[in-house]
Structure 1
């Protein structure tokens, strides 16, 4: 009888010990988000597609910094692929189609010494000419952003996104966590003000929510961006 009771006590201790280990493992998973089972293949696939599209776009429209950007994003792609493999994701993810930027048209030089047709007589004012000092009507606005109290940084940098389902935020390899940045897309004049919450290999990457505030429909890259450091 005593032997049976001792055996039962040891079994109960083993069961309780195993339960404690399971609870501890669950706490670590919840606290760190490192569980392979908790990885979302849909989220990983979207992040992979975005980064592959960014690389394809840089190769189709290279500039002086394209090679460095591609190397940085390839490292991100490799990390995502490792996480997809650990999570058992098997979808064949490819980049979205990209279109090379159209070449700027070459303006033809005016014919030399060609007289202007119906030119007004010398000394006569041109018809409908604006008064001196008056602004030309329908003059195109310049690309320069409106005056602001921020310091323009990372001139010439493009801006893209990283996959994070959170409030608008940014990651940066140039500015420390806690820095406040404003990103303006000159192609649609939309801006977002965000705080750096994590490090990255770029001047600034916007998370999903922040990128939605400045993006153009269907685009995963802001080519003409103004980045300002506010604090």
Structure 2
């Protein structure tokens, strides 16, 4: 190719800094500029449950500090909600009633296929908080632990699933026996893990009924023991 021809091609090749478009003669090709930020997807594989708490839509978290904004999408129905963290829990994100209603499927208290995105605030993850090893509430007698205390600081919620008392877990394999004690009322139940979840232990409805306080779908002060 002649020198004159080469120079002619160079003149027709223009990269516009404003649009990131490559103009080659009459053909315009859009090029990625790298400015578009990818979503900050966090806590991959986590399930999302509800806390049973009232108030305006909000979330609690054991991973992100108060003020962090999280977008939760239920991949089974495409519904999303964006909420701010207003307190600690033992889950990546735990939605209160008003927030969960925005993404729930009818009759379900668990989102098994969730996408969680950090969309504002809370740049630094916080450590999990809780009082799993604390004594019972005033006036409540809690027997000492007899098994291996695990997942300290975890809250316990219910999955909304039926059947005989059982649990799911993202920490222990199927067949593991876990004893869950509600330190606020002294009630305990021992169940076997029958499947996976994104929590240390997630109780189904009949198991949760054995340890729940009236009207609550969350045990904030739980002791979890591996007993078999």
- More helix, by proportion: 1
- More strand, by proportion: 2
Decide which structure has the larger Cα Rg and report it: 1
Shorter-chain TM band: 0.3 to 0.5
Normalising by structure 1, we get a TM-score of 0.45
